Structure 1
Amino acid sequence: MKLQAVSNRKLYIQIADQIRDQILQGAVEPGRQLPSERDLATDLGVSRPTVREALIALEVAGLVEVRVGVGAFVKRREDGRLTLPELSSSPLEVTAVRRLLEPEAAALASQNISPESTARLAETLRKMRAETAAGQWSFDTDRILHMTLADACGNAVLRELLDGLWKARGDEVDTRFHQHLLEVGEVRADILADHEAIVAAVVSGNAEAARTAMARHLQFVSDAMLQAWE
């Protein structure tokens, strides 16, 4: 595939544009596998996680199929047009900002949590355990747990910032990114354990433990997002 190098600061949607154009020009036939994440990243001059975001944007648009542990394959299309999703931020960017804000929100929540919010956290954890046992992951359940903590933090500005981040996470590319991430059973189990530790620290009123547990959780998610999928 003939690709143009882009700067490290380019948005992943611009990378997806280049790969899309190459596919539509016939550089890779339907049913065939695209070059590896590593090779695409080298040719484009960007990181592998950024290439991954671009591939998932192409998957959402219906042009490729991403198979975790294998690679991305070109799908057959009846038309030659492709509309890429228009997003304001990337999954990696959203996670980076969450790492800055959510540990403090958890610490504050530990000092302000109400009985109603405590009960909501307990019920949400119950759902998470059932989903994990069934090999599933739910964006809605994840959001409810984290936003319950945001609601309980006692700072309206921080709460609104976190609400905006979770609305960004509702974008289809971000949701698909996390779905692929959580196809790995060990990742689902680790994330459930993280959530259990966060809630335990918050409801016990231990601000430092809550801050540490949330930071550890988001570091794990960030690391998992950056790990190679092929």
Structure 2
Amino acid sequence: MMKLQAVSNRKLYLQIADQIRDQITAGAAAPGKQLPSERDLAASLGVSRPTLREALIALEVAGLVEVRVGVGAFVRGPQSPGDGLPEQSHSPVEIMAVRRMLEPEAAALAAQSIAPEGLARLAEVLGHMQADADQDRWSSEWDRTLHLAIAEGAGNSMLREILDILWNSRSEEVDKRFHDHLATISEVRQQIMEDHRAIVAAIVQRDGEAARAAMAAHLDYVSAAMLNTWE
């Protein structure tokens, strides 16, 4: 009789998080101890740094580690082997990859199709975001509202529904924690605000090519920040 093993369809970053959790609960890393660097952990596990970073965020959501931006990840404790990982969260890196495929085209369509009331809504939301920026604050809800207002302005209900699903995924535990860490970095907040102003300006000018380019540049920046602005 053939002896076969079931193929696991668990997300890779959760499988990696399992391995690190097992080491922590076995006592390989004591409470308060800093874990090895992302680069070293990724090399030891044979995975990319983005996947390793997602695993660390999953461990943080589970209460097993504390991630300190610019410093590293530290073991929290004492912990129980039963501490659960966020099994239902999508991969933040995969969510961003799909957004980069779709949102530049949504911005280009919005520049062509958005109604006057849609432009007024974009101006209103941008004003709220600027008021927060002036107070050195960041609201993920206004961020979501702006992007979905652009999707609404594109005039394609299916595209709007798909982007709504993506942004709902942004509110899941791992993705939310990922972006919460980014929002603690002042230079990232400032650049994102500048990007949003450029996107809205292109849409107001009815310049589809400029809107597409501005949205693509924005998402490229955030994607790079997710992967680079950390240690």
Which structure 1 segments of 5+ residues have no match?
1-8
Calculate percent identity across the aligned residue pairs: 64
Per-residue CA deviation, residues 73-103 of structure 1 (Å, 9 max, x unaligned), is 1112364421000135210100011001000
Amino acid at match of 1:229: W
Residue 194 of structure 1 corresponds to: 195
| Number of equivalences | 222
Instruction: Say yes or no: does 1:137 pair with 2:142.
Output: no
Q: Which residue of 2 aligns with 1:23?
A: 24
Distance 2:83 2:15 in 1: 14
Once the two structures are superposed, the pairs formed by residues 146-161 of structure 1 within 5 Å of their partners are 146-161=147-162
SS state of the match for residue 206, structure 2? coil
Alignment match, 1:125: 126
Whole-angstrom CA distance in 1 between matches of 2:87 and 2:195: 32
User: Could you report, residue by residue, the CA deviation over 1:151-182 in whole angstroms, capped at 9, with x for unpaired residues?
Assistant: 11111111111111111111011011011112
Give distance in 1, aligned partners of 2:62 and 2:124.
Answer: 35
Unaligned runs of 5+ residues in structure 2 are: 1-9
1:18 Cα deviation (Å)? 0.7
Residues 78 and 63 of structure 1: CA distance in aligned 2, closer, same or farther (over 3 Å): closer
What does residue 103 of structure 1 align with?
104
Calculate the TM-score normalised by the size of structure 1.
0.92
Report if aligned partners of 2:96, 2:223 keep a CA contact under 8 Å in 1: yes
Runs (4+) off by over 3 Å: 77-80
After superposition, the Cα gap between the structure-2 partners of 1:88 and 1:57, relative to the gap in structure 1 and judged at 3 Å, is: closer
Q: Identify the residue that residue 5 of structure 1 maps to in structure 2.
A: none
Conserved in 2, the CA contact under 8 Å of 1:110 and 1:207?
yes
1:34–1:72 CA contact under 8 A, matched in 2: yes
